[in-house]
């Protein structure tokens, strides 16, 4: 499988470079700059990413490229470009012009392969404190900005390029074209990495890896675990044993409908009803992290008890995806924004299971594309993210069965209205929150004293930052009215108009 290797020096944009390459249907790997693997013939090019460091700093990241064949194309981006200039005798200083944000790029060498089809002038995105003030003698400038002469260069006689700007960022108008010129043109990648080819090769390697062993997998109702299950099912059929736990904290009727949908897809799945246990263990707990711990512990224990009933199971399958893998292995102080959230975790202790993670090479949108190609129920495929602890962290304060029931009703009204109004698919995540306060209202001629429901809807790319959605007033009026009329125990509905940061998506 042809691939591009991206050396991670810790830039916040490293992952974005990988995304752009994957969008060309070319597979790529991100590896720490100091753990370069042996270069096999399937590696078609190497990209040196950006970094928060300065090449002049004492402990600046220094890759060892001695194992890289001289004819393998290299592209340095930002820090990568500075390093390529500095390492071979150029000059990088902090006294030159710093640039942050948009800049105008002028192409100086129209005949250069990297600049193919790039207009004479275009906008690029800059973010650098250091500047390359002098290039080594065999380097040639191929593009400049008003304040940075050496904005892009090529090494004469070797397939090595450097760009000071971030071609991977959306604001670089022709950035995608520059990356295409590199990956498809200079490196000569065919771009044949598609969901279908991924499924074919993964199914074959899963069969080989697992043989006739049994595998256990915890389903959550979300996209990742469902796609992992379908891939394994295609590879090993009934040797895959899925477990789907009802914590009592799922959305209204979700356990039954999702279980039916899994069975409809032919999965060997066991539904385990454990609501009473979860809700019982939440009694009296009000602190969010304590609730998370209690729920997490119950998940592990219920899952393990079920897994142990499967005789001779050898493997535990997980729906780990690429960002999870990268986040746990990234360069220190680097691109990593560490997630503390984990859904169902914990390896059954005494069972000594080996771990299989069929999605560990994929980004979320690729998981969706693979899911679609595998025929995953569109309801599950398009589903908003939902936290592992479920409604347990959307009932603020102590969780009781009554409060969960109120929240489930309100949530069902909200989500079905979003779908009816064709708003659901444009939203990254939506849900309702039950506030732990009561307020006075009047219904008919009677005074009421009941709970408040908050509605939340955000757009986001990865959940790390989010904007609140400007829902239409008519829509909000309909939802508020339907909830207050239809859900006993609620007499007020409010809408959350905070983005993340400073707020978070969930309230707890």
Least separation, in Å, of the C-beta of 428 and ligand XMP? 8
Query: CA 431 to CA 391: how far, in whole Å?
Result: 9
Q: Please identify which residue in the block is written with the tokens 């090449």.
A: 55
Query: CA 170 to CA 143: how far, in whole Å?
Result: 19
Which of 127, 257, 343, 452 binds ligand XMP (CB under 6 A)? It is: 343
Piece in contact with ligand XMP (CB under 6 A), picked from 10-18, 204-212, 350-358, 384-392? 384-392
The reply to whether 28 belongs to the active site is no
Q: Do 63 and 48 contact (CB within 8 A), yes or no?
A: yes
Query: CA 119 to CA 407: how far, in whole Å?
Result: 55
Which of 3, 166, 292, 368 binds ligand XMP (CB under 6 A)? It is: 292
Q: Do 62 and 56 contact (CB within 8 A), yes or no?
A: no
Nearest to 30 by CA among 53, 13, 55: 13
Q: Does 21 participate in binding ligand XMP (rule CB under 6 A)? A: no
Considering beta carbons, is residue 171 or 500 the nearer one to ligand XMP?
500
Considering beta carbons, is residue 96 or 463 the nearer one to ligand XMP?
463
Least separation, in Å, of the C-beta of 385 and ligand XMP? 4
Considering beta carbons, is residue 266 or 345 the nearer one to ligand XMP?
345
Give 232-297 as a DSSP string.
Answer: HHHHHGGGEEEEEEE-S-SSTTHHHHHHHHHHHTT--EEEEE-HHHHHHHHTT--SHHHHHHHHHH
Query: CA 269 to CA 261: how far, in whole Å?
Result: 11
Piece in contact with ligand XMP (CB under 6 A), picked from 143-151, 227-235, 241-249, 385-393? 385-393
- Which among 166, 187, 409, 450 is annotated as catalytic? 166
Q: Please identify which residue in the block is written with the tokens 């008003």.
A: 146
Q: Does 388 participate in binding ligand XMP (rule CB under 6 A)? A: yes
Q: Does 341 participate in binding ligand XMP (rule CB under 6 A)? A: yes
Q: Distance between the two ends of the chain, CA-based, in angstroms?
A: 44
- Which among 2, 28, 78, 189 is annotated as catalytic? 78
Q: Does 433 participate in binding ligand XMP (rule CB under 6 A)? A: no
Considering beta carbons, is residue 178 or 219 the nearer one to ligand XMP?
219
Q: Does 500 participate in binding ligand XMP (rule CB under 6 A)? A: yes
Least separation, in Å, of the C-beta of 36 and ligand XMP? 33
Piece in contact with ligand XMP (CB under 6 A), picked from 5-13, 41-49, 190-198, 383-391? 383-391
The reply to whether 166 belongs to the active site is yes
Nearest to 91 by CA among 62, 131, 34, 42: 131
Q: Give me the half-sphere count of Cα atoms (radius 13 Å) on the Cβ side of residue 403.
A: 24
Q: Does 147 participate in binding ligand XMP (rule CB under 6 A)? A: no
Piece in contact with ligand XMP (CB under 6 A), picked from 67-75, 204-212, 362-370, 498-506? 498-506
- Which among 2, 28, 128, 168 is annotated as catalytic? 168
Cα–Cα separations (whole angstroms), residue 55 to 122, 164, 239, 339, 447: 28, 13, 52, 29, 69
Q: Does 90 participate in binding ligand XMP (rule CB under 6 A)? A: no
Considering beta carbons, is residue 406 or 505 the nearer one to ligand XMP?
505
Q: Does 504 participate in binding ligand XMP (rule CB under 6 A)? A: yes
Least separation, in Å, of the C-beta of 134 and ligand XMP? 45
Residue 296, judged by CB atoms within 10 A of its CB (0-12, 13-18, 19+), counts as: middle
Which of 150, 226, 335, 429 binds ligand XMP (CB under 6 A)? It is: 429
Residue 497, judged by CB atoms within 10 A of its CB (0-12, 13-18, 19+), counts as: exposed
Least separation, in Å, of the C-beta of 299 and ligand XMP? 10
Q: Does 364 participate in binding ligand XMP (rule CB under 6 A)? A: no
- Report, in angstroms and rounded to the nearest whole number, the Rg of the chain calculated over CA atoms: 26
Which of 136, 346, 385, 441 binds ligand XMP (CB under 6 A)? It is: 385
The reply to whether 242 belongs to the active site is no
Considering beta carbons, is residue 343 or 482 the nearer one to ligand XMP?
343
Cα–Cα separations (whole angstroms), residue 461 to 363, 379, 400, 426, 499: 12, 20, 33, 12, 13
Considering beta carbons, is residue 35 or 342 the nearer one to ligand XMP?
342
Which of 463, 479, 480, 491 binds ligand XMP (CB under 6 A)? It is: 463
Q: Does 218 participate in binding ligand XMP (rule CB under 6 A)? A: no
Nearest to 91 by CA among 153, 171, 37: 153
Considering beta carbons, is residue 117 or 287 the nearer one to ligand XMP?
287
Query: What b-and-e string marks burial along 378-403, b requiring 16 or more CB atoms within 10 Å of the CB?
Result: eebbebbbbbbbbbbbbbbbebeeeb
Q: Do 178 and 164 contact (CB within 8 A), yes or no?
A: no
Q: Does 387 participate in binding ligand XMP (rule CB under 6 A)? A: yes
- 141's tokens: 């400038």
Residue numbers at the binding site for ligand XMP (CB under 6 A):
292, 341, 343, 385, 387-389, 429, 463, 500, 504-506
Catalytic center residues: 78, 166, 168
């Amino acid at each position: 499988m042809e691939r591009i290797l991206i050396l991670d020096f810790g830039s916040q944009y490293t992952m974005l470079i990988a995304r752009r390459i994957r969008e060309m249907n070319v597979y790529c790997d991100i590896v720490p700059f100091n753990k370069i693997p042996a270069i096999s013939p399937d590696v078609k090019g190497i990209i040196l990413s950006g970094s928060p460091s300065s090449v002049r700093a004492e402990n600046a990241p220094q890759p060892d490229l001695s194992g890289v064949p001289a004819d393998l194309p290299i592209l340095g981006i930002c820090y990568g470009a500075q390093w390529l200039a500095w390492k071979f005798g150029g000059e990088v200083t902090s006294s030159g012009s710093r640039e942050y944000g948009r800049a105008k790029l002028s192409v100086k060498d129209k005949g250069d392969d990297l600049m193919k089809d790039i207009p004479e002038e275009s906008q690029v995105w800059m973010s650098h404190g250091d500047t390359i003030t002098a290039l080594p003698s065999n380097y040639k400038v191929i593009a400049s900005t008003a304040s940075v002469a050496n904005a892009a260069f090529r090494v004469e006689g070797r397939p090595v390029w450097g760009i000071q700007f971030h071609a991977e960022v959306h604001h670089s108008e022709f950035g995608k074209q520059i990356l295409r010129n590199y990956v498809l043109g200079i490196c000569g990648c065919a771009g044949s990495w598609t969901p279908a080819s991924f499924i074919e090769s993964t199914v074959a390697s899963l069969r080989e890896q697992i043989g006739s062993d049994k595998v256990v997998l915890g389903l959550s109702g979300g996209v990742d675990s469902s796609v992992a299950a379908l891939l394994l099912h295609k590879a090993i059929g009934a040797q895959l044993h899925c477990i789907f736990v009802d914590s009592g904290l799922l959305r209204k009727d979700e356990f039954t409908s999702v279980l039916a949908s899994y069975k409809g897809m032919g999965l060997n799945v066991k539904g385990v009803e454990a609501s009473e246990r979860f809700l019982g263990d939440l009694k009296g707990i009000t602190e969010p992290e304590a609730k998370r711990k209690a729920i997490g512990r119950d998940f592990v224990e219920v899952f393990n008890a079920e897994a142990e009933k499967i005789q001779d199971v050898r493997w535990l399958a997980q729906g780990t995806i690429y960002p999870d893998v990268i986040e746990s292995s990234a360069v220190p102080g680097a691109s990593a924004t560490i997630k503390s959230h984990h859904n169902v975790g914990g390896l059954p202790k005494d069972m000594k299971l080996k771990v299989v993670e069929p999605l560990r090479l994929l980004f979320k949108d690729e998981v969706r594309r693979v899911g679609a190609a595998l025929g995953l129920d569109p309801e599950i495929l398009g589903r908003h993210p939902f936290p592992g602890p479920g409604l347990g962290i959307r009932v603020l304060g102590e969780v009781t069965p009554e409060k969960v029931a109120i929240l489930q009703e309100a949530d069902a009204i909200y989500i079905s209205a979003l779908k009816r109004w064709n708003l659901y698919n444009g939203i990254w995540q939506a849900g309702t929150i039950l506030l732990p306060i009561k307020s006075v209202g009047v219904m008919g001629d009677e005074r009421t004293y009941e709970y408040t429901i908050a509605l939340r809807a955000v757009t986001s790319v990865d959940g790390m930052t989010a904007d609140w959605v400007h829902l239409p007033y008519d829509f909000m009026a309909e939802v508020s009215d339907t909830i207050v009329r239809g859900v006993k125990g609620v007499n007020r509905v409010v809408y959350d108009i905070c983005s993340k940061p400073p707020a978070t998506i969930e309230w707890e």
